[in-house]
Structure formats: C-alpha cells, structure tokens
Amino acid sequence: MIDDFPLIRQSSGENDCLPAAVEAILLWNGVAEYSRTEIARICRMTEEGCAWYDAVEGLREHFDVEEFPASDADTLMDTLYDAVENDEEPVAVRIAVADFAGDIYGHAVVVVGFVNEEEIRYMDPLPGQWRTLPRAAFRQRWLQGGGFALIVRP
C-alpha cells in the first residue's frame, strides 16, 4: 500500500480527471512545478476530455511513462498488484462510471493499494477522496474503461 499519496480534486465541471491524476502522481514524486493547466496541455486535453492514446503520447514527451501492455484480465490485475504492492508505484487507470441517467463514461483514478488482496484502494479525483472497490468490481470497471493503465515518473 502506498502511503502519503495526495488527495487531488479535479476542476469542477471539467473533464480533467486524468490531468488531476497525473498531478497527484507528480506531487507524490515531489514534483510540484506543473500546474493543472500545463498538465492538461501535456495530456492534449480537448473539449471531449483526454483521449488515452494522445495523453500517453504527450506525457512521454515530458516524463518517463510506462504503459501496461494489453493483456488478459488476470495478467492485468497481476501487473497492477506488482506495481502498487511490490514496486510501490501509484498507477493511473481509467475505469467506467455511470451517471444518474445510466450513461457510462471513462474516468481516471489512481490506484494506490490492494486491501487484504480483496479490495482495490484508489484516489478518485472527482471528489478528491479515497475510494475502495471489491477486486471483481474494480476489474470489471477497469476493463470496461479500456483496461488502460500507466505509471508516470518524473
């Protein structure tokens, strides 16, 4: 479990959850010189939010970025476990979330640990708070969101 990870809130009414997630990861790494606006520009954010492929490309130009390779669900979960529990590196992932109307969206969060190996703990930039989900529910929502995950190092 990663300790002392900052709680960062995304801008109200904006789709900048991925830049907020990256900002939190950079802060945890001791890097504070990037503003949210600057990170959003690096992530090539548009009116539609951050396209994952474009954001990764942009982030690679400024940071050491490690993206999880596409693989089956179990391998992805093992890779996530290794990253946060063994290597103690926070991982930005995109999960699916539903709104009150039942529409589903992608949403970036930062995974910081596995609780008793049965629950996933993550920082959710929407409220800027900790959340946990049972392992199976997290796995499902992560894969619905594309199974995307990345590690950002300064």
Three-state DSSP state, 132: strand
| Nearer residue to other proteins within complex by CB, 55 or 151 | 55
How many angstroms from the chain centroid is the CA of residue 147? Answer: 11
Stretch that binds other proteins, among 29-37, 58-66, 109-117, 145-153 (CB under 8 A): 145-153
Measured N-to-C along each axis, helices 135-144 and 73-81 cross at an angle, to the nearest 10 degrees, of: 110
Q: Of residues 112-131, which lie at the interface with other proteins (CB under 8 A)? A: none
**Tokens representing residue 40 in the block:** 């959003």
Binds other proteins by CB under 8 A, chosen from 4, 32, 61, 101:
101
**Tokens representing residue 111 in the block:** 């995974």
Rule CB under 8 A: is residue 48 a binding residue for other proteins? yes
Angle in degrees, CA 75, 50, 84, rounded to 5 = 35
Q: Give, for 41, the enclosing helix (H) or strand (E).
A: helix 36-42
> What is the per-residue binding string for other proteins in 26-45, x denoting contact by CB under 8 A?
-------------------x
Binds other proteins by CB under 8 A, chosen from 8, 18, 39, 59:
18
| Nearer residue to other proteins within complex by CB, 1 or 104 | 104
**Tokens representing residue 51 in the block:** 């396209």
| Nearer residue to other proteins within complex by CB, 37 or 88 | 37
Q: Exposed (0-12), middle (13-18) or buried (19+): which is 49, by Cβ within 10 Å?
A: buried
Binds other proteins by CB under 8 A, chosen from 108, 110, 150, 151:
108
Binds other proteins by CB under 8 A, chosen from 2, 17, 92, 123:
17
